[in-house]
Structure 1
Amino acid sequence: MRMLSKIVMSAGLVSLVSTMALAAEKTRPPYPHYWISVATTNQSIPGMSEEMSGMASMFGGRGAAFGPRRTLQLQLEGPREVAEPKAEHLIPPGQKMGDSLPLITPKQEKTEYQPEQRGERPEKYEKPKARMLIYWGCGENVAKGQPRVIDTAKMSAMDFGKALSGRSGTRQIPPSPHKGWTYGDWPNSEDRKDVPKDASLVGEHQLKGSYLPDNIRFSLDQKRDFMAPVSFSAISKTASGAWPFKWQQVPTAIGYFATAMGHNQKTGETIFWSSSEVPETGFGLMDYLTPHDVQRFIREKVLMPTSRTSCTIPAGVFKDVDGAMLQFMAYGEELNLVHPPKPKDPKQPWNPQWSVKVRLKSTGSSPLVEAEERGSRSSKKRPAADDGAEQEQQPSDNKKGGGMMDGLKGMFGF
């Protein structure tokens, strides 16, 4: 009986401690959260001349610029509302973007209530038609059991969604506008300057604002600086129809993933391929991932370790496909700061004042274009005009170059 009484008392104490800890969690006051999303992008065409690259950028404008680019997204939320919200991020000199970046609170425009207008239902609902082929794995030949066919004509909407769904990382909810809180971000309507190509985040950072505490200071090191761009050192097509490609190592990367997509106009099929060794569409992996998720997916042979520098899209995957696009992800380290840090002793009270998250990625993309097609334009030099006369374009050149440029326009969105 005594032993039973001790067990009951012990269980009661554990329950009491758990209840008290839970109550402390619930009563803990909310605190500001700040996210810094750091990205490097590189849209390239291996073997493309500078002249042609400039022409493609000219067609596409700013959004379709080729070559490495650095971008930032800053998102802040504070747990109170103020009449005139102001906040700024004081940056290190190496960032070369001035002394600070303004975190502007978006203005909420009031709209008059409009009663819902109910339209008539169409008499006949036409089911969307799509047929997709899913391949995976690096190698010269397609492995057995591939492709996985997804055909909307033969499955319900629920089955279609399940077939397309793949792995995804831990759900992360960034700061956003919501009731009772004040939100600010950059770039914004007042400031959206480009990030210099040689900008660096290394150094001391500080946040100031009318809805923030005064002590938000933190430092970033080389691992949390802009990642090196993804650079393909070789992309070629073998006689068998395979596409081997190589890339230069990204020094601060913790994992890699590649995917490619193309469309067969003759059959109407859309083809997807990923570098995963196991069946995977990859749709949920083409964004920031936590280091824990990256390591987990490497163990599951979905992502590639950073020791890898080459892969081959199997022969036949993109047979008779025009305009296939290769996309590559290099996942970076992540920094999570909470001030003050959580004490090791669970009995010690903990009241965080602010948190900062820094997440990183580097992405690259390139069309799968055969060597002779890449060189057809760059090898032709336009003859100089005589006496300032304007040169006439040859119809045959228009057809050859037009096909390639049309493909580029479709793939790069210009």
Structure 2
Amino acid sequence: MKLFVASSLAPRCHPTKMVATSLSVLSGLVLSASAVAQNKAVTQVVKPPIALAYIDVATNASDLPGGGMMGAAAQGGQSGGFFGALSGLAKGAGNSISERGNQFGNTHNMMGFGSGRYIDVSVHTNQFPSLTEAVQSIPANMNLGASLPLLAITPDKPISGSVDESPVEPHYEKPKGKISIYWGCGENIRPGQPRTLDVAKASPDDYARFFTMRGKTTKGARAEPGHPSWPNKNDDRKIPDNASLQGQHSFSGKGIPDNFKFTLNAAQDLMPAIELQQTKRDQGVSLEWKNIPYARGYFISAMGGQSGDSDRGELILWTSSELPDVGFGLGDYQSNTDIDRWISEKIILPSTTTRCDIPKGIFGAQAGGMLRMIAYGSDAYYAYPPRPADPKIAWQPDWQAKIRIKSTFSSILGGMGDNTDMHRNRQEQNSSKEENKISPTDILKGLFGR
């Protein structure tokens, strides 16, 4: 009965018309699918820009006295990855901070050495690869005059017109002793931790399984032949405390297009310094900080050691990640895409986070170690002319500019007060009772046999 009623109420259609309609719909679908396939098959031709500029922006805050050690760690980390950074720390333990003003590369000091605000700038043009000097016109609120003189270093060999964008491949140096990794914020150490490696006995496969180090920092501003940069030997002025990057910037020089100009807004300005409050509690440390405007996310790491003989010390690492990671790869600029992905994977703390507890018992009764924190800003790209929306139209911009922003903080774990007093007492008493308390620098020297 129901089938009969439904059939009787259905609209009547001539069989010929039904076939024609079906063919029309099918034809439309085929044409649509063909159009989609054609669009997917088209790959837009993108040619390198005529001129390319980088601006790396960093705010560093630190209450650590060992500037030479921090600088050595940064250099070692850039050339040798994880082990290079540790070796750099050991080598630079006794060095003093340079008395020079602003130096190119201060934005990349991975341990936050040198409190202050730093900017590294460089520009390159394919029309004149051996460019030796250029000028960056800057907004008045940078308080550095109308412009910055960019100067390239002297080349040792002929200059290539191409710009290397590949990440630096680290070269590892095998240390001695043990390394233990902890991870995650919270009051207590989580089940399954720590992950420990006896590096003297470990095989290459053991290393591969043990070391998880995320991070894909590519080159930004560079002081190289053919890349006039600032600061340089002719102008090493420091960035004023009240400086702002907001406003119009432009580049000029031989082979640089006349229209190379763009405007930076508040999201690309110098970030505020991280204001971190540390509170020791029951062999752990509570970390709290003020939210930073325009921060995309946060990452925290700590490094310390346990006593042992000179060849068998134990290096201890902790990070705020919810998954194991040694942390050194995430201590510098990261892309917006990677930051967002690692936030979703709970590797990086979301921008709304203002507290993290380091579990008790990781760094011993004194909770001694070195702490580093980074607030990631959002990188920005500018180009002219804009990229065509039609993939069939090739794109070769006259110029491109890339801006990267971050704010970092480094300190003794738990704050400098107690550790400064302890160091002073150790010097005054010169007592063997302190032998059970070993500094991270001593551990690092022991690990590397230096």
TM-score range, shorter chain: 0.7 to 0.9
2:117 aligned residue: 70
Map of 1:296 onto structure 2: 341
Deviation for aligned residue 1:226? 0.3
The match for 2:275 is 231
Contact 1:182 1:211 in 2 (8 A): no
Deviations 1:153-211 (A, max 9, x none): 33223532552232223x53436589xx9322112232222111111101111100102
**Secondary structure, in 3 states, of the residue corresponding to 1:211?**
coil
Q: How does 1:6-405 map to 2 (within 5 A)?
A: 25=45, 28=47, 30-44=49-63, 60=97, 62=99, 68-81=115-128, 85-109=132-156, 128-169=175-216, 172-174=218-220, 182-233=226-277, 235-238=278-281, 240-266=282-308, 268-319=313-364, 323-369=368-414, 373=418, 376=421, 397=428
Q: Displacement, 1:348?
A: 3.7
Structure 1 CA distance for aligned equivalents of residues 130 and 333 of structure 2: 34
Instruction: From the superposition, tell whether residues 14 and 193 of structure 1 become closer, same or farther in structure 2 (CA, over 3 Å).
Output: same
Alignment-derived partner of residue 22 in structure 2: none
Q: Which amino acid aligns with 1:236?
A: T
Secondary structure at the counterpart of residue 341 of structure 2: helix
Alpha-carbon distance in structure 1 between the residues aligned to 2:374 and 2:419: 24
Question: Displacement, 1:34?
Answer: 0.8
Cα distance per residue 1:390-410 (max 9 Å; x no partner): xxxx9985659xx9xx96998
Are the counterparts in 1 of residues 246 and 269 from structure 2 also a CA contact under 8 Å? yes
Q: How far did 1:345 drift?
A: 2.2
Query: SS at the partner of 1:153?
Result: coil
Tell me the CA shift for residue 358 of structure 1. Answer: 0.6
1:109–1:182 CA distance, 2 compared to 1 (3 A): closer
**Aligned equivalents of 1:197, 1:370: Cα separation in 2:** 24
Equivalent-residue separation in structure 2 for 1:359 and 1:186 (angstroms): 15
Q: Kindly provide the CA deviation profile for residues 267-306 of structure 1, in whole angstroms up to 9, marking residues without a partner as x.
A: 6000000001122221211110112211111110111112
TM-superposed CA distance for 1:139, in Å, is 1.0
* Residue 65 (structure 1) shift: 11
Identity %: 34
Query: Which one-letter code corresponds to 1:132 in the other structure?
Result: I
Please say if residues 91 and 101 of structure 1, whose CA atoms lie closer than 8 Å, have aligned partners that are also in contact.
yes
- Using the alignment, how far apart are the partners of 2:426 and 2:220 within structure 1? 53
Name the Cα RMSD after superposition.
4.0
User: Is the Cα contact below 8 Å between 1:74 and 1:185 reproduced in 2?
Assistant: yes
* Cα distance in structure 2, aligned partners of 1:321 and 1:164: 27
What TM-score do you get using the length of structure 1 for normalisation?
0.74
Instruction: Return closer, same or farther for 1:396/1:186 CA change in 2, 3 Å cut-off.
Output: closer
Partner SS state of residue 253, structure 1: coil
Summarize the Cα distance change of 1:83–1:252 in structure 2 as closer, same or farther, 3 Å threshold.
Answer: closer
User: If the length of structure 2 is used for normalisation, what is the TM-score?
Assistant: 0.69
The unaligned stretches of length 5 or more in structure 1 are: 1-5, 46-58, 112-125, 381-393
Alpha-carbon shift at residue 349 of structure 1 (Å): 4.3
Contact 1:73–1:187, Cα closer than 8 Å, also in 2: yes
